[in-house]
Structure 1
């Protein structure tokens, strides 16, 4: 049986081209390389303005990637001076991805912005800006440790009560969304959440940048691929 297809959401940005500046789909390769290293087949899911029906049909697992901020209007706030990279088209497209994933039982690994989206869609809110969580060292190097809740799914995957992670976010969860359980913290910042019912694991750091050198971070992708393969087998039996 072919390896499971893992869809990766992708940001929109205006990039130079032979036709002048054009709206483009742009994503670092670390997501795809991590999925491939974990045994999956990565496929990108560009945030189109017209959202296809059954947008995740044929997709076995989903990675919600990082990127710019969610529109603060999604959680009843107004943009601040630090707000950046807002794309309402991407917000709408990725909302559809989450809704279809939950309807189909597609397992989800949500990363950074992805964690924040999951939280907001569950009625949670975000702190518009926090200091001290954007590192100066290379992204494959850890910035700090997060404490992991014993007995959580995350703890089972990483096999530790604390793991070193990188840090590239200026927002974080304020009010936790419905149905989510906080399973990792750095001080008062929630660094990971889970929803076992909908097969969602969401982390605030960027495991894709550390997966080549950290077995604990690669384990997040390996788990997603395993869950995706199990879902495919179950649906085909």
Structure 2
């Protein structure tokens, strides 16, 4: 059986080097490890200013990762004092990736910043700063439970109506974007949403830090790999 290839987004960051400050591509290895553990083949996509039209050729799935804040200008607001880590280059790059992936029917799992990006691209907005959602305990431990919509794909994946998640975000969904359906909440905070019409699942927490110890969180990556395998079997060989 063929192994699905999953594109993983990266961060673009200025790093000091022997040649002075240089823009670098970096990513937490847990994203790749989670894909491998689920039977997929990970490939990190470098964030470039020029975006090739064929960038997703040969890929079967897309994993949108966490990182700095989106530019509030993307959802019609000015940045507040607590907005940080904005990369307009990454915003544009990932927006193009998402649009291309959806046009091609490529399955998507969006995590943290990735969830926020999807929401904004669908015309939604964000709360620029929330408190109480940044845990002090180790990242592989649960901080709180989320309530899962029993009619959601997330409920089908986990066979649960509640699950434990970690918490590392200071922004959250405000207005939900078009055609998105809430899959999980923690109080008033949207913790997950889906769009069954575009093979999309998005979570606000970081399952890549919990996949080794939590079967529920590992199931998210197994589901992405399975959806990607189905896409691979259906797409023409040259695409």
Shorter chain as normaliser: what TM range? Answer: over 0.9
Structure 1 partner of 2:58:
58
TM-score by length of structure 2 reads 0.97
Report Cα offsets for 1:127-186 as digits up to 9, x if no partner: 010000001111101110000000210001111111000000000000000010011000
Structure 2 partner of 1:110:
110
Structure 1 partner of 2:121:
121
Q: How many residues align?
A: 237
Q: Is the deviation greater in 59-68 or in 47-56?
A: 47-56
TM-score by length of structure 1 reads 0.98
Give, in angstroms, the shift of residue 236 of structure 1: 4.5
Moved over 6 A (4+): none
Quote the Cα distance in structure 2 between the aligned partners of 1:98 and 1:73.
Answer: 18
Where 1:178 maps in the other structure, the secondary structure is coil
Structure 2 partner of 1:180:
180
Is the Cα contact below 8 Å between 1:55 and 1:100 reproduced in 2? Answer: no
Give, in angstroms, the shift of residue 193 of structure 1: 0.3
Report Cα offsets for 1:195-226 as digits up to 9, x if no partner: 00100000000000000111100100000000
Quote the Cα distance in structure 2 between the aligned partners of 1:125 and 1:178.
Answer: 11
Structure 2 partner of 1:198:
198
**CA RMSD, Structure 1 to Structure 2 (Å):** 0.9
Report Cα offsets for 1:96-128 as digits up to 9, x if no partner: 110010010000000000000000000000001
The runs of 5 or more residues in structure 1 that have no matched partner are none
Report Cα offsets for 1:31-89 as digits up to 9, x if no partner: 00000000000000111011111221111000000000000000011111110000000
Give, in angstroms, the shift of residue 21 of structure 1: 1.6
Structure 1 partner of 2:214:
214
Residues 45-194 of structure 1: pairs in structure 2 closer than 5 A: 45-194=45-194
